[in-house]
Amino acid sequence: MSSRLKVAYQGERGAYSEQAAWSLFGKDIEVEPCPTFDAVFSAVEDGACDRGVVPVENSLAGSIHRNYDLLLRHDLHIVGECNLRISHCLIAHPGVRLAEIRRVYSHPQALAQCEQSLRELGEVEVIATYDTAGSVRLIKERGLDHAAAIAGEGAAALYGMAILRREFEDETINYTRFVGLGREPVTPEGESKTSLAFAGKNEPGLLFRCLSAFALRNIDLTKIESRPIRGVPWEYVFYLDFLGSVTEQRCDRALEQLREMAIFVRVFGSYPRARPAWVASDVVEHQP
């Protein structure tokens, strides 16, 4: 019986999520491709896999809302994060020319990150699929000679396909943040980040008071986003990330104050913070 960590991710072999799994947990793991994000969460929660990896936001296309909803639905913890550089390739059968492409397949997030590049191709049909690498496999197995897929370089190599264009994304500063999932929380050492969700009554000033629990203690919030509460129109749950760990006294007290004001607070976990893979000068140079 294998003693290697078994890690679930959404997509086919060669997907960006597979790269993220290696980045988070090392190369000496057993990867388990899953057809959907729901299946990733279930595989970890049910014990079929030790860990899971899902994307939560992209620097161009924004948050992957489905996974924020699933975090709230499942009893799992965030145990790590990584920021993966996404460099898309336009991939087709060997010998096919760019002018011959009539359809382009890929995951909706990848298509959103390549909107301008797709427009430059002219009259092509854009078809959404469930996975980037899976799109390459699809055009390979179906023999679609006038079709291309948007995916990573690794997917082209894995399926023996040709790269028509590299860096097909609209912006080269293109990163996706992935989180690792586990059944038990971790205690991070060094720089850490904490993710949580909370909701409160719809009353004036409540959000300000909730966030003041962190501001008064000089805790840096790195993300806040609202999502609708299912079955309760116009009521929202807030997802929040901050720098620090629940083991720190100031963070623990901030959460204690938040719980006094909110209807519910769910801490997804404190985990090692991934350092940004880019530098500020890169971002400034790409400002419009």
Active site residues: 176, 178
Here the tokens at position 286 are: 């790409």
Written in H, E and C, the secondary structure of the chain is CCCCEEEEEECCCCCHHHHHHHHHHCCCEEEEEECCHHHHHHHHHCCCCCEEEEEEEECCCEECHHHHHHHHHCCCEEEEEEEEECCCEEEECCCCCHHHCCEEEECHHHHHHCHHHHHCCCCCEEEECCCHHHHHHHHHHCCCCCEEEEECHHHHHHCCCEEEECCCCCCCCCEEEEEEEECCCCCCCCCEEEEEEEECCCCCCHHHHHHHHHHCCCCCEEEEEEEECCCCCCCEEEEEEEECCCCCHHHHHHHHHHHHHCCEEEEEEEEECCCCCCCHHHHHHCCC
- What is the distance between the alpha carbons of residues 147 and 92, in angstroms, rounded to a whole number? 7
> Rounded to 5 degrees, what angle do the CA atoms 159, 54, 12 make?
20
- Helices 37-45 and 65-73: angle between axes, nearest 10 degrees: 30
Largest CA distance in the chain: 65
